[in-house]
Structure 1
Amino acid sequence: MLQTVLETGLRQTMSRLIRPWLHPAIPVPLQRSIVAQAYRSSVPPRGCRFSKMTVGGIRATRTDFGDAGPGVVLYLHGGGYIIGSPSTHRGITGHLAKACGWPIIAPDYRLAPEHPFPAALDDAEAAYDGLLRDGYNPENIAVAGDSAGGGLTVALAMKLRDGGKPVPGSLAVMSPWVDLSHQRLYSPEREPVLQARWIDKAARLYCGSEAPIHPLISPVFGDLSGLPPLLIQVGSEEILLNDAQRLAEAATRQGNETTLEIFNSLWHVFQVHAGQLDRATDALNDVAAHISQHRAG
């Protein structure tokens, strides 16, 4: 009963305090500032340790909880490629570090419009290459991300495969944004977070001179064969539901081990409420189980 009330309250909070700011008329710098403040409500568990670092020449934040295990999670934050940072996602990285027992490395990749495609992808690849140089077994590297970071996760795996580099042991994406052409956006009865006009603007800023159906911008149009085992999580109350379903269908059709989890009555990247909302905490525990299942040894 209390969890049901909490879900209702959080949904209303997202709808009233977050969604109005994700409007195309609001300047990107102001959105970055407002969203950074709003994410303060996403609280990591007690005992998390955060440290600044560089990996592959990219600034990043490392999250630890307890003793570090043999692997690492490269976490790519969301924000439509125009807002967000490792700092805004400390709640998710903190709870994921606690759940999986591995350090979480969140690179501060470059954002549009200052740095359009392929800047974010180049930075993600540089960070991954840095982990390899640091001696991590690729089978003990998991890549995870939410929203735009989810699309970036899949694009990174595709680029690594095509470049003949060792791919990570597993991928996990939450509410992935994988079709920036928005050809088949879902129309839920209610959408507490995203506005279609805002993601249209974000897509234009990120794509720059490239077509939105470029496979490394919109991975749902790309070759998904030969990628690591993929876990996809999405809420039923979000316009990106079809993105997640189409990604799962395409990956499965092309022979990939793929798991799709749809969380009824939840919204875009509800995992930010881990530690408060039981289903959000459970979702990150599922991500941790997926990582554990596909690690070396």
Structure 2
Amino acid sequence: MLQTVLTTGLRQTLQRLVKPLLNPAIPVPLQRSLIRQVYRSSIPPLGSRFSKIQLANVPVLRTRYGKESRHAILYLHGGAYVIGSPETHKGITGHLVKTAQSTVYAPDYRLAPEHPFPAALDDAVTVYKALLDRGHAPENIAVAGDSAGGGLALALAMRLRDEGVALPGSLTLFSPWVDLTHAALYAPESEPVLQRRWIENAAGLYCAGELRTHPYISPIHGDLHGLPPILIQVGSDEILLNDSQRLADKARQQETEVTLEVYNSLWHVFQVHAGQLSRATEAMTTAGDHIRSNQTL
């Protein structure tokens, strides 16, 4: 009963307070400031340890929990490539560290419109290669991300494959944004978080004249052969639902191992509520299991 009330309350809060902020009429710097305040409600587990480091000159937030681990997760935050940071996503990285029993490295990658494509992808590649240089075996590096970060995680794996770099052990994608053409957006009865006009504007700022069908911008238009096992989690009440379903279908057609989990009556990147909402906590446990099952001991 309490979880039902909490779910209803969170949905209403998102609808009334968060969704109006994700509006192209609000200047990007102000959106960044306001969203930082919103994410204060996403709380990491007690005992999470955060430290700011540099990896190959890219600022990174390292998250640890419990004993030291030789396993690593490269986590790419969401925010439509224009807002968000590792600081806003401490709740997600904290819970992922706990469930996956790995150290999370979340790069503060460059954002549009100041730094359009391919700046974010270049930063992700740089940090991944830095982890390899620090002695992490590729099979013991997982790559994960939410929303735009989910699309970026997939683009990263595709680019590494194309460049002949050893691939990570797995990919974990929360509500990934993988088609910036928005040719097949879902139309739920209620979308508590995203507005189409906001993601349209953000896509324009990120692409900055580059074709939106570029496979490193919209990975759904790329080749998924040879990628590591993918876990996709998505809510049924979000306009990006079709992105996840199409991605899973294409991965299967191209013989890439994929698991798609659709969480009924939940919303975009509901995992931010892990530790509060039981289904979000369960989803993070599943994500941790996926990551650990694709690592060596």
Report TM bin, short chain: over 0.9
- Report the AA paired with residue 47 of structure 1: G
Give the TM-score normalised by structure 1: 0.99
Matched positions, count:
297
Q: Distance in 2 between matches of 1:117 and 1:50?
A: 28
Corresponding residue number in structure 2 for 1:155? 155
SS at match of 1:82: coil
1:263 aligns to 2:263 (yes or no): yes
Indicate the SS of the match to 2:232: strand
1:156 shift after superposition: 0.1
- Displacement after TM superposition at 1:70 (Å): 2.2
CA apart distance, 1:38: 0.4
1:192 and 1:46 map into 2 onto residues whose CA distance is: 28
- Contact 1:42 1:91 (8 Å CA) reproduced: yes
CA–CA separation in structure 2 for the residues paired with 1:89 and 1:37: 12
Aligned to 1:286, what secondary structure does the other structure show? helix
**Equivalent runs, 1:86-125 vs 2, <5 Å:** 86-125=86-125
Deviation string 1:33-59 (CA, Å, 9 cap, x unpaired) is: 000000000000110100000112210
| Aligned residue identity for 1:210 | E
- SS of alignment partner, residue 105 of structure 1: strand
Equivalent positions of 1:1-297 (< 5 A) are 1-297=1-297
Give the secondary structure class of the aligned counterpart of 2:233.
strand
Question: 2 CA distance for matches of 1:270 and 1:102?
Answer: 21
The residue identity in structure 1 corresponding to 2:145 is G
- State the 4+ residue runs in structure 1 displaced beyond 3 angstroms: none
**Cα offset for 1:268?**
0.2
Unaligned runs of 5+ residues in structure 1 are none
> Which amino acid in structure 2 is aligned with residue 212 of structure 1?
R
Q: TM-score, normalised by structure 2?
A: 0.99
State how far apart, in whole Å, the 1-side matches of 2:100 and 2:169 are: 14
Give the distance between the partners of 1:209 and 1:129, measured in 2 at CA.
28
Deviation readout 1:105-161 (Å, 9 max, x if unpaired): 000000000000000000000000000000000000000000000000000000000
Question: Where do 5+ consecutive residues of structure 2 fail to align?
Answer: none
3-state SS in 2 of match to 1:213 = coil
